[in-house]
Amino acid sequence: MNNKTNKLQCILQPALYYKSIFLSIITALTSPLVFADEATTNIDLPSVSVTGNPLGLGSEELIVPVSVLNGRELSLKRESTLGDTLNGIPGVSATHFGPNASRPVIRGLDAERVRIMQNGVGVLDASSLSFDHAVSIDPLIIEQIDVVRGPAALLYGGSAVGGAVNAIDHRIPTEKLDGITGRTEARLGGPDSQSNVAGVVDAGNGQLAIHGDAYSRKTSDLDIPGFAVSRRKSEFDGTPRINSGKLVNSSANGDGGAIGASLTFDHGYLGASYSELNNNYGTVAEEAVRIDMKSQRWDIASEFHDLDKLGLGNLINRVKIRLAHTDYEHQELESGVVGTTFKNHGIEGSLEAGHTPINTSLGSISGVLGFQFQNTTFEALGEEAFVPSTNTQTQALYVYEELPIDQLKVSFGGRTEHATVDASANAKFGPAQNSSFNPTSYALGGIYTLNPTWSFASNLSHNERAPSYFELYANGAHLATGQFEVGDPNFGEERSNGIDAQIRWKDGKNSFSVGPYYTRFSSFIGLLDTGSTQAGLPVAQFTAVEASFKGFEATGKFALDDHLNLNLSGDYVRATNLTTGDPLPRIAPLRIGAGLHYQKNSFGARMDVLHAFDQNRTAANELATDGYTDVSALVSYKLPTKLNIELFAKANNLLNQEIREHTSILKDIAPQGARAVLIGFRSDF
């Protein structure tokens, strides 16, 4: 770690290390003596998607399918990881490498095909390299999560061919604030005996807005309903079924926080933030191995809008700048001794300009032009390093335009990118290697409003993605997956064409949407088993094949009366290696869900049921997975106080079923948690 970083830590870590003091201050601030007068508090945080469309439209107006979790709904759905928090949203499953590491899987695609962002800028960690590497975002401090399903590469990069996930934390205030606002949240119990607490506070005088947050998370080894090893695996290879009732080495201990500030104006803001995350957790796959993760991040963001009204120009009416610098490191500890160290540090940013509407004979065209760049250096140091040190640089230009024509709104986007992925010379991996790529993507979409209740949306896209550093240069034993992984430095761009469609209906509080999708890859880069062994492990080769992904998603919400809602959902994906005709691995089965949500005055109750069917359509050397029915329930009560305090109790896996996610590479040695109850409170002020 360099001297500059050490100096920053000396200056800023008191706000991070003294979290107990900070949380006590938050509690004090919520007292009526210092609570800001409601008439003078002026904060309006976004409650609609800020990710699916750069023009600031509401979720219902977006052409691409987007799901938004925020506020109370996000608070009640939070899990320990980002992937498990989003699991169950139509089209979204999770990699679930035990309870501590889980990335979202969208429409059967994961790793480098799902772009994970924090406030619109990429999360520069090592979570896409290996399933046991956690995402460097803790859901406890997230205020909103946007999930864009389907190709979003035009705005966010080629790695968004499956979709994009944007975690929004408001660490850089974007709106004027006069007074104090914030939230606190605490949880206790569950199958992992968690004890979590988080606090967020924002204060401002109408011009300067300051943000602070801190959290602490601690869990024990996960309680499970039966044996860790599945019956199928034991019968297949003779693995003994031991460790009944507990998932050994699944505990975790993490904390972190941030400080940020913005100057706010009538037409924009300028701000910065510093955040730090620490996470120490067991890897489950190896009983003596834990990961000690640290991430430090600086963010700078600014946006100015309505520039044409200020007389600053007739062409550009909005400018947005986002920039983040990240220093990420984690050490894999074997019986307390450092085995392998992974580092990823770099900078990513974007400059986006929205132009004033252009009038044409067909209508008024609105849109944005953007420039995006990234420069990151990855290092793996130690005996178990299976990729060399690499530097990845990308520069991209993109455009997005919308044209309303009566009842039809048409969108068009294009993106061109230049990427270089260079590996350093290494005694283990050989001489230096250099690769460069020029991916180009474009899309055409539209939404047709039949009447005030019915609409139809569709998207056509062509996407190209530059291979990642590990797809190009991996060459070694990857113990987390139990494979010897081999890359191919001769890869070209990964290319795909896709189409999706949705029928949408909304009438008052009732709504539903349903639609199919189809994506065909002419060169899908998959990690495929070769049938050979090396160093005592099966060899898996990154190979470009033709592949298809097709499926559907459905969701609905219906008001049965003034206080009771019925929620329905379903999704299915079928993925095939067209070169061989075999199924692709780790694809989620058909899932259907239903829930009854009741709310009257201060009392709330809900019951949700998610049924996953058997997954018998498996790849070579992949075991089938039994279906399950996950029943959960929740009751909540808002206390009759000015502070808006809500108590809740949540019960998961009420049927105490053995739940194994087919999308998890550890599904046969790491089931989900047993039946358990979690209690907590949340307070907004």
The mean pLDDT of 25-36, rounded to a whole number, is 36
CB-CB contact of 484 with 474 (8 Å): no
Which of 154-168, 381-395, 428-442, 523-537 has the least mean pLDDT?
Answer: 154-168
pLDDT at position 41 over 60: no
Which of 37-41, 116-120, 206-210 has the least mean pLDDT?
Answer: 37-41
Residue 222's pLDDT band, with cuts at 50, 70 and 90, is: very high
Distances (CA, A) of 6 to 12, 329, 417, 588: 10, 14, 35, 44
Query: How high is the pLDDT of residue 25?
Result: 36
Rounded percentage of the chain residues whose pLDDT exceeds 90: 76
Query: How high is the pLDDT of residue 243?
Result: 85
Query: How high is the pLDDT of residue 39?
Result: 33
CB-CB contact of 500 with 552 (8 Å): no
Rounded to the nearest 5°, which phi and psi values hold at 564?
-125, 125
In the block, tokens 């047709």 appear at 448
Average pLDDT of the chain, as a whole number? 89
Q: How far apart are CA 210 and CA 241, in angstroms?
A: 53
In the block, tokens 């106080």 appear at 641
Render 581-614 in DSSP notation, one character per residue. TEEPSS----EEEEEEEEEETTEEEEEEEEEE--
Residue 56's pLDDT band, with cuts at 50, 70 and 90, is: low
Residue 160's pLDDT band, with cuts at 50, 70 and 90, is: confident
Query: How high is the pLDDT of residue 312?
Result: 64
Query: How high is the pLDDT of residue 57?
Result: 60
CB-CB contact of 100 with 281 (8 Å): yes
Q: How far apart are CA 612 and CA 555, in angstroms?
A: 16
Residue 59's pLDDT band, with cuts at 50, 70 and 90, is: low
Buried b (16+ CB within 10 A) or exposed e, 482-521: ebbbbbeeebebbbbebbbbbebeeeeeebbbbbebebbb
Cα atoms found within 13 Å of the Cα of residue 237, Cβ hemisphere only: 9
CATH numbers and ranges of domains, the chain: 3-684 (2.40.170.20)
Which of 154-168, 581-595, 610-624 has the least mean pLDDT?
Answer: 154-168
What DSSP state is assigned to residue 36? P
pLDDT at position 272 over 70: yes
Q: What digits encode the pLDDT tens for the residues 606-652?
A: 999 999 999 999 998 899 999 999 999 999 999 998 888 999 999 99
**3-class DSSP string for 204-265:** EECCEEEEEEEEEEEECCEECCCCCCCHHHHHHHCCCCCCCCEECCCCEEEEEEEEEEEEEE
Token output for 77: 């759905």
pLDDT at position 141 over 50: yes
The mean pLDDT of 554-570, rounded to a whole number, is 96
pLDDT at position 4 over 80: no
Query: How high is the pLDDT of residue 15?
Result: 39
What DSSP state is assigned to residue 420? E
The mean pLDDT of 11-16, rounded to a whole number, is 40
Q: Of 636, 631, 641, which Cα lies nearest the Cα of 679?
A: 636
The mean pLDDT of 286-294, rounded to a whole number, is 94
pLDDT at position 16 over 70: no
